[in-house]
Amino acid sequence: MKLTFLGAAGEVTGSSFLVETDDVRFLVDCGMFQGGREADTKNRARFAHAPAALDFVLLTHAHIDHSGLLPRLVAQGFGGPVYATAATCDLLEVMLLDSAHIQEREAEWAEKARTRSTGKPPLYTVAEVTRTLHQCKAVEYGTAVQPHPLVRCVFRDAGHILGAAIIEIWISEGRHTRKVVFSGDIGQPSRPLMQDPAIITEADVLVVESTYGNRLHKTLDDTLMELEHAITDTLTRKKGNVIIPAFAVGRTQEILYLLVEMYRQGRLPEMDIYVDSPMATKATEITAKHWALLDKDAAALLQWLKSRHGHPRIHFVQDVLESTNLQRIKHGAVIISASGMCNAGRIKHHLRHNLGRKECSILIVGFQAAGTLGRRIVDGARNVRIFGIPIAVRADIYTIGGLSAHADQAALLDWLAHFKRAPHRTFVVHGEQATAEIFAAAIHDRLRWTGVDLPAQHSAVIL
């Protein structure tokens, strides 16, 4: 068996892994690269394999850095099934269509402006996304699926976002069957909304993420105290707005949950909450559809919210005019908008109008990849450019890491500690190089595992 690391090796985005034997060939994830100057070049590069020769694709979850190049794969000849949980299939329709619309719109803008990007077609079109969605096959957690006579797999709840999965795969070669586990993105235990990650106890080969493998998150209690201070201080003392860049899928729903719960507890003042992302609105509707997958406390809070007759005031912003009108609000608003890394979408407009105001606050609640606007803000830039306009950073910046959808080092090590024995080979991926190195060392030192490797981009191993 051969395993090739096509993305998320030495970096966080572009998750994609090729598994090959003499009889079967498949991908686990087909993600888009995000952040940095090289991302577009990587996304436009020819696949390092023949898409038409793939038997199937297994998808861990819907985030674009794991799913975003699926339509490009289909456009270049892949005609097989894409297996994912039912919730992931629903979210893909929202996320991939949005991605295609952005691709097409940016190509049109570049052509009109005759910029250096002129001549670059969209990575894929809406029509190609529609073809991709028709190839998706929904599976349930805990139910064995056989995508090929020699391959059996089971999707387990990863506790990351709605529908996210750890994938257990049994691959037969001759008389021997080996078990390969792909962690996907592992969630932090005891988080609001999501279930805890499922426990896995054995694997011959393990591919594990390391996004926050070098640090510990704040406790949920400390995180909520910081959130309470940031919002209360901004709205009541400084009389400004709170701007929250948040991923439309997962993070927005969790933030809404926390704001409503803290309001219910009397910890937050009366406020207007604006969800300014059509994709986040659709994702919230999908979350409600799959309510059975969520933490048991979420259902009780929903019933409480329904009985409150509009308090706290939550507004789902749809059209562009509504979004533009938010820019006139000078105080009292909590605006949640995508993209989560501040690199595109409506959030850039809200940052443009609030980042330079000392009475406002920006709450960073998710991972910011290298090269993104969000990362520059987190790293303490005093001046940034948005739409080519220089903006002085005067707003208070809060980095609230305890809300991460990714497990921290302690949680990852605890998840690994449930294995009855160390896998023969463990590959640490989905982390910036220095972070992955620290986490690999922690696995070796604390769990006494051997055979722990950090694969390079496009490297391959024979197993």
- Give tens-digit pLDDT for 311-336: 788 999 988 899 999 999 999 999 99
pLDDT at 102: 81
Residue 434 reports pLDDT greater than 90: yes
Structural contact between residues 168 and 154, judged by C-beta atoms closer than 8 angstroms: yes
Q: What pLDDT does residue 337 have?
A: 92
430 to 125, 160, 335, 396, 436: CA distances (angstroms): 27, 14, 30, 30, 8
Examine the pLDDT at 115 and tell me if it is beyond 60: no
Cα–Cα–Cα angle for 91, 100, 96, rounded to 5 degrees: 15
How far is 206 from 182, CA to CA, in rounded Å? 6
Query: Could you read off the pLDDT of 444-456 as tens digits, one per residue?
Result: 999 999 999 999 9
303 pLDDT band, cuts 50/70/90, is low
Q: Which residues of 248-287 are buried (b: 16+ CB within 10 A; e: fewer)?
A: bbbbbbbbbbbbbbbbeeeebeebbbbbbbbbbbbbbebb
Q: Which of 14-18, 103-107, 378-382 has the highest mean predicted lDDT (pLDDT)?
A: 14-18
DSSP 408: B
**Residue 412 confidence (pLDDT):** 98
pLDDT bracket for residue 306 (50, 70, 90): low
Per-residue model confidence as pLDDT tens digits over 195-220: 999 999 999 999 999 999 999 998 88
What is the C-alpha to C-alpha distance for residues 278 and 317, in angstroms, rounded to an integer? 7
Q: Give me the pLDDT at residue 368, please.
A: 86
Q: Which among 23, 40, 28 is positioned nearest to 3, based on CA atoms?
A: 28
The encoded tokens of residue 231 equal 């919002």
Give the pLDDT confidence of 125-140 residue by residue, as tens digits: 999 999 999 999 999 9
Q: Residue 134 CB: number of other CB atoms within 10 A?
A: 9
pLDDT reported for residue 267? 95
Residue 314 or residue 155, greater confidence: 155
Estimate the crossing angle of helix 296-306 against helix 251-264, to 10 degrees.
Answer: 60
Is the distance from CB of 398 to CB of 361 less than 8 angstroms? yes
User: Helix 278-289 vs helix 86-113: angle between axes, to the nearest 10 degrees?
Assistant: 170
Per DSSP (E only), the strands in 121-215 are 136-139, 145-148, 151-157, 165-173, 176-182, 205-209
Radius of gyration of the chain (CA): 22
Helix axes 409-417, 433-447, angle to 10 degrees: 40
Short-list 427, 426, 424, 448, CA closest to 204: 424
pLDDT of residue 326: 94
Q: Residue 463 and residue 364: Cα distance in Å, rounded?
A: 41
User: Considering the entire predicted model, what is its pTM?
Assistant: 0.89
372-426 pLDDT, tens digit each: 898 999 999 999 999 889 999 999 999 987 888 899 999 999 999 999 999 999 9
pLDDT for 140 equals 97
**Alpha carbon separation from 243 to 211, 354, 386 (Å, rounded):** 24, 8, 15
Give the residue from 199, 167, 179 showing the smallest Cα distance to 407. Answer: 199
Closest CA to 430 of 5, 67, 13, 3: 13
Q: Cα 94 to chain center, whole Å?
A: 14
Above 60 in pLDDT, residue 118? Answer: no
Q: Where are the beta strands (DSSP E) in 24-78?
A: 25-28, 56-58
Mean of the per-residue pLDDT values of the chain:
92
Position 119 scores a pLDDT of: 62
- pLDDT classification of 348: cutoffs 50, 70, 90: very high
pLDDT at 446: 96
Domains delineated in the chain: 2-215+405-462 (3.60.15.10), 220-403 (3.40.50.10890)
Sign of the dihedral through C-alpha 191, 194, 199, 203: negative
Helical axes 126-134 vs 86-113, angle rounded to 10°? 170
Higher-pLDDT residue of 142, 301 = 142
